[in-house]
Amino acid sequence: MLRRMSKPVSGFSKKNKEEKIQWLIENYLVDVPNARELLTSYWHTNPKTQGLHDDFIENTLTNYYLPFGVAPNFLINGTLYALPMVIEESSVVAAAGNAAKFWLDRGGFKAEVISTEKNGQIHFNYFGKKTALETFFESVQPELLESIEHIQKNMKKRGGGLIDLELIDGTETLEGYYQIHCRFETGDAMGANFINSCLEAIAARFEEKAQTHAAFLSEDTLPEVVLSILSNYVPECRVRAEVSCNVSALGKTEQEGITFAQKFVRAIEIAKSETRRAVTHNKGIMNGIDALILATGNDFRAVEAGVHAYAARNGYYSSLTHAKIEDGIFTFWIELPLALGTVGGLTSLHPMVKLAFSILQKPNAKELMQIVAVAGLAQNFAAVRSLVTTGIQKGHMKMHLMNILNQLEATTNEKAAAIAHFADHSVSHANVTAFINSHRNSS
């Protein structure tokens, strides 16, 4: 492919939106005649709303829309929820809704928050005597705490703030490497900005006081801060969700229920022991989690990173969900780290995020953790249920049918005819194309 040579641009962020679009067209989209129309057609008709979107990131040109759907009938701890979900994958919302309906008549979902602690680290170099560093750290802790009092004043009023500081020796894995591990509670806020501000203030005071510490001066070596940042690995901020019922209630007959339960548990065991299966297994869990995270304006990338690290916490990558049959009872559960917020960030800015929280009956952070964990569990139940019964493609391709029809620019009548035909025929791109061509020829 012959690529057009473009020159570097300076001051791009200072151009207005029209100028940025014009530059993009001239340098990269000359062969796309409708590029300007396409970009501007996704602008919001309300200038105020569009202005809000423009300010979320730098160099905004337009908006990129994803479907906003809802999965109803989630009974969680005795309360009935409808879950807002933002995702493009065809079968995710349908699968979530089906799982919710299945468990609605079997007691619903139970969920509990195990802990809510978050953390961050000040990473630094030190090549002197460890005892000198330990003595200094112990003596300077009151000063480090004092350095963030102005930052955590309001957080403390809401029951949060810094919990503890700990000096950690990392020299076994990296020469001269130490860290100050800081533990936090952040209430209903995800707390990233708060934690990072605290860490940077502590780091600055740590280096400042080290400059005059006698032991460091006599050794002619000082601690040197490399970086200060929160961690998205939050195994102490954890939630559990589960479903359970008699195995006989899982099928139309008792034997069918027992057979299903046994195959289901075996499928989970495979995902716990085989990494290639575990990755796809957990991806399905994240279909439900990410969709709800996006709808509520939380950081799905942070959640993804932390959850997958947790899945590998034992030295190998494994299933996030677990299942067992005990005394005739089938139990299926998930336990995972989720650092979420219901205040701050997009939660107070994006109109659709506000709407999503209203749909969820305005949960606090702990309640949102429970709801999100349930979404992941439900998604996984639906997927594994399909895999051990009809297979995943039957339901998925039925949902994908509309995407194929839209690619073929099918009319309303053609779509109706295709939906009726493929109700009992196998869906594939080739089969749908052949059907539409035949329908058009006969017409």
Query: Can you tell me the distance from the alpha carbon of 115 to that of 266, in angstroms, rounded to the nearest whole number?
Result: 30
For this structure, is 299 an active site residue?
Answer: yes
Ramachandran quadrant class, 3 (left: phi over 0; alpha: psi -120 to 50; beta: rest): beta
Using CA atoms, how far residue 88 sits from 230, 241, 249, 268, 391, in Å, is 30, 25, 33, 26, 21
Query: Can you tell me the distance from the alpha carbon of 175 to that of 405, in angstroms, rounded to the nearest whole number?
Result: 60
Cβ burial 206-215 (10 Å sphere, 16+ → b, else e): beebbeebee
What own/partner pairs with CB < 8 Å and gap ≥ 24 does 17-23 have? 17/54, 17/60, 17/61, 20/59, 20/61, 21/61
Return the DSSP state at 3. P
Question: Tokens 């590998």 label which residue?
Answer: 312
Helix (H, G, I), strand (E, B) or coil at 22: helix
Residue type, 203: A
**How far from chain centre, in Å, is Cα 96?**
16
Question: Tokens 């559960």 label which residue?
Answer: 333
For this structure, is 362 an active site residue?
Answer: no
Query: Can you tell me the distance from the alpha carbon of 186 to that of 299, in angstroms, rounded to the nearest whole number?
Result: 16
Return the DSSP state at 51. H
Annotated catalytic residue: which of 89, 269, 304, 335? Answer: 89
Residue type, 181: H
Annotated catalytic residue: which of 20, 118, 213, 396? Answer: 396
For this structure, is 396 an active site residue?
Answer: yes
**Spatial contact of 126 and 133, defined as CB atoms under 8 Å apart:** yes
Residues in the chain: 443
Q: Which residues pair with 109 in a beta bridge?
A: 76
Going through 270-402 in order, the beta strands assigned E by DSSP cover: 321-326, 329-337
Look at residues 264, 310, 301, 186 and name the one whose alpha carbon lies nearest to residue 256: 264
The phi and psi torsions of 163 (rounded to 5 degrees) equal -95, -45
For this structure, is 89 an active site residue?
Answer: yes
Using CA atoms, how far residue 429 sits from 93, 396, 397, 402, 422, in Å, is 22, 13, 9, 11, 12
Annotated catalytic residue: which of 283, 398, 415, 421? Answer: 283
Return the DSSP state at 12. G
Q: Which residues pair with 70 in a beta bridge?
A: 84
**Spatial contact of 84 and 356, defined as CB atoms under 8 Å apart:** yes
Active-site residues: which are they? 89, 283, 299, 396
